[in-house]
Each structure stands twice: as C-alpha cells, then as structure tokens.
Amino acid sequence: MIPLIPNFSQFELSPTLAANEQAAILRAAGKKVIHMGFGQSPFPVPQRLQKALKDNVIQKSYLATAGLEELREVTLDYYQRLVGYAPNDYDVLIAPGSKLILYALQMAIAGDLLMPVPAWVSYEPQSAMLGRKISKVYARFVEDGYVLTPQDMKDAIKAARDNGQDPRKIILNYPSNPTGLSITHKNLEEIADICREEGIFIISDEIYGQVTYDAEYRSIASVAPDITAITTGLSKHLSLGGWRVGVGLIPKQVKGLFPLLNNIASETWSSVAAPIQYAAIEAFKGHADIEDHIKACTDIHYHLNQYVANSLRDLGLYVPPPQAAFYNYPDFAPFKAQLNAKGVYTSQDLTDRLLSDVGVLTLPGIAFGADPETLTLRVSANDYDGEAALEAYLSGQNLDMLFIEKYAPHIYEAPSRYKTFLFE
Ligand SMILES: Cc1ncc(COP(=O)(O)O)c(C=O)c1O
C-alpha cells in the first residue's frame, strides 16, 4: 500500500468547486436545479481582451516568474489609482490566480493565522496544508452587516497566545465572500492600528474590490501600506476566473518578502501562461470600454443580488443589505424551531434539504468557518446567461422585475422555492 499523508482526510474538494460538480451531475440527470452555490460571474470576455488574446497566441516562452514587466507596471499604476499608495510602496507579483498568492503568503509569513469568520472557504485548508494553526475571530451580526470589533480582535489575539499559538497574520476579505459586505473605513483603521500594535501582517483579499455597488474602492493599504499585502486579479470584476490571472501587491517595507514569494513561485508555478499575460495588460490600462464593462456588470449584479436579499428578508430571514459582489449570507435563525422539527439542525442539513426538497443548491455556513449549528448559507446570484443579460442592459433594457424574469429566470424563481421550503 502506498502511504498518504496522515491527515489527508481534512483536505476535501473545495466546497465551491464541489457544488459546481454536484449541480452538473444533477442537471445531467434531468433535475431542475437552481444553482446558487458557485462564485462565478457569468459575463462574457470583453472584445478588447478577446482581440488581445488572439493577437498574442504566438507568445510561447516562459516569462519572468514575477510576471511580464509591462503587465506588472500597468497593474501597479492601476491599483495605485484605486488604493492611493505611493508607487514605491509595492512590488507586483503575477500568479495563476490570487488563490496561489494567498497560499504563498501564508507560507512566507511565519506564525499562525487570525481568521475573521465568516471567511472564504480556502483560507483554513491552506493554513492546514502548511501545518499552521488558525484562531477564529467571529464578526458580530448587526442590523446591516457583520462587524469585526477591535475588542473581539484583541481578545482573540490574547486567547490564541494563551493557547500557545503565535498569530502573526490576518486575512481580511472585503467585499466579502460569503457576505457581499464590505468593511467601513473607520473599522479598517481600527483593525490596522491593532495589527500594527500586535505585530500582525495583513493579507488583504480585495478580489471583489471593483464589484462594489457604490463604486468606492476600499483598501486597508491606504492606511497601512507598510504591513499590508493586497491580493486581487481578473476573476471577479472581469468574470475571467478561467484565465487564472492573480495579482499580489507586496509591501517593499517587509524586507525579503517579495524575493521569498518570487522564489516560491519559481519552484512551483514558474509563470502565468504567456498569451494570457500579454492580453491581461489591456485589462489594467484603464480603457474606458473596459471600465464601462465592469460598471455595467456590477449594475446587473447589484440588481439581482438586491432582489435575492430583499426577497429572502421578506420571507423573514436575517439578510443584511448586500453592498457588493453576487453573494448573500442569510441567517435562518428566525426559523430555527421549525427547521429543527424537520430534522434540520446544522447548516449542512439546511443545504442538503434545500437541494433535495426544492432543488436549490447553496453552500453551508460551516464551509465559511461558522459553527455547524449556525443556520447560515451562502447564496450566490449567478445562475443566468450573462451574455444575454449584459446585451439587454446595454441596449437599454431597464433593470427592473421584468428584466429578472426574462434574463435571469432561475434567480427570479428562487425566492418562491425558499418560500415553499419554509412554509409548505
Ligand atoms: C474571497 C476570494 N478570494 C480569492 C478567490 C480566488 O480567486 P482567483 O484564484 O480566481 O484569483 C476567490 C474565488 O472565488 C474568492 O472568492
């Protein structure tokens, strides 16, 4: 028998990808599934980027590990305009997706991880793969969102140290997957102050930074560029997850960090596919057509996500008004007694029953670090034909209820399925 690592059973297929495979299997078997489990924005590749990729199909050489020089330069400028750092604050690392930069950062920064909850699904498994420990800090549910209070953060750091851990990094994700919520400037400042006092490095996952409904780009790097790495990329605001372009902005003041990441990259992924890197340059030049495309896609996300949030709130669930991206994180606590009576005790039970009873696929709160009995779900609003929806919007269709009915029929139908599940 060939031996595997002893704790391999804790590494499962990442829940979002697993949900996608499950939806495909059910649909192939003829089931009508509303897929609210996947985090993929459905819009098409902008013409300019299609052309740039075609023009560069002949590029075939390995590129520099950190990325193509011109791509790194335009990226640094682009995010400088959004975040407001000084150009000399950061080095740029291009990788096949920000997921790998997050992994490399977790590897490169010594010590354990402080993880605000709810948190994106991959932070904890990545930390476990690296043999590090995590301590959770639960964000508090308030009327219009989830808030990471300074006191809870300090308490979590102290508790971790009392337990013999060495928390030296935090991953902040705002706008957040799973909540669709951001963090206020004031709260970011408070968090930055604590991190500075406690010697904690900030990994700022800003992959949804340009899918905000108020079009304001928020970054903790605007107040703490010396201790913050930013991770972002093309996957969300340009719906280009399959292109695998991740961007790491690495603070120069943390001596040795950029060369270390570059070495990790050189021993693992080597470099991102050359044609993709050449094409990606056009995504960061600030072209008006690309920026308009991002705005139009965000308008549609806003319309659909608001509809889902409002409808679920009308049914009696706790749902803070989403501020960004394409996610809601409803809490079914008001229905706890009814759900328990149906045999639903955990978020996993809830996910399973929503799928088996009414054909709605979601992800359970437990995948985002919540306690098993917390009845939260991540509900995404991406199950529609993005090309048709975008074309209709650009040709003047109003973003109203008819739009949802016509261009996103699964999203339109979803609330009635939740209603059936809760009340029938
Ligand atoms: C919060 C968050 N961070 C990071 C990623 C990774 O994105 P990518 O590796 O495509 O850049 C995702 C993708 O779903 C995400 O939701």
According to DSSP, the residues that pair with 171 across neighbouring strands are 203
Query: Which superfamily does CATH assign the domain made up of 8-44+289-423 to?
Result: Aspartate Aminotransferase, domain 1 (3.90.1150.10)
- Which residue positions in the chain have pLDDT lower than 50? none
Q: How far apart are CA 94 and CA 71, in angstroms?
A: 8
Taken in order 344, 330, 317, 146, the sign of the CA dihedral is positive
**Full DSSP string of 132-200:** --EEEEEPEEETTEEE--HHHHHHHHHHHHHTT--EEEEEEESS-TTT-----HHHHHHHHHHHHHHT-
Domain positions in the chain:
8-44+289-423, 61-285
pTM of the model: 0.96
Looking from the CA of residue 16, the nearest atom of ligand 1 is: 14
Q: In the structure encoding, which two tokens stand for residue 341, read together?
A: 């009576």
CATH number of 61-285: 3.40.640.10
How confident is the model at residue 145, as a pLDDT?
A: 85
Q: Write the DSSP symbol of residue 223.
A: T
Q: How far apart are CA 88 and CA 253, in angstroms?
A: 10
Find the 414 Cα to ligand 1 centroid distance in Å.
25
Side chain identity, residue 397: Q
Residue 260 makes CB contacts below 8 A (sequence gap 6+) with: 108
Coil/strand/helix, residue 173? strand
How confident is the model at residue 342, as a pLDDT?
A: 95
How confident is the model at residue 224, as a pLDDT?
A: 97
Domain 8-44+289-423 shares a fold with domain 61-285: no
Q: How far apart are CA 377 and CA 381, in angstroms?
A: 13
Pocket test for ligand 1, best of 174, 235, 238, 244 (most atoms within 8 A of CB): 235
How confident is the model at residue 220, as a pLDDT?
A: 98
How confident is the model at residue 8, as a pLDDT?
A: 67
How confident is the model at residue 18, as a pLDDT?
A: 75
Find the 99 Cα to ligand 1 centroid distance in Å.
6
How confident is the model at residue 87, as a pLDDT?
A: 84
How confident is the model at residue 10, as a pLDDT?
A: 67
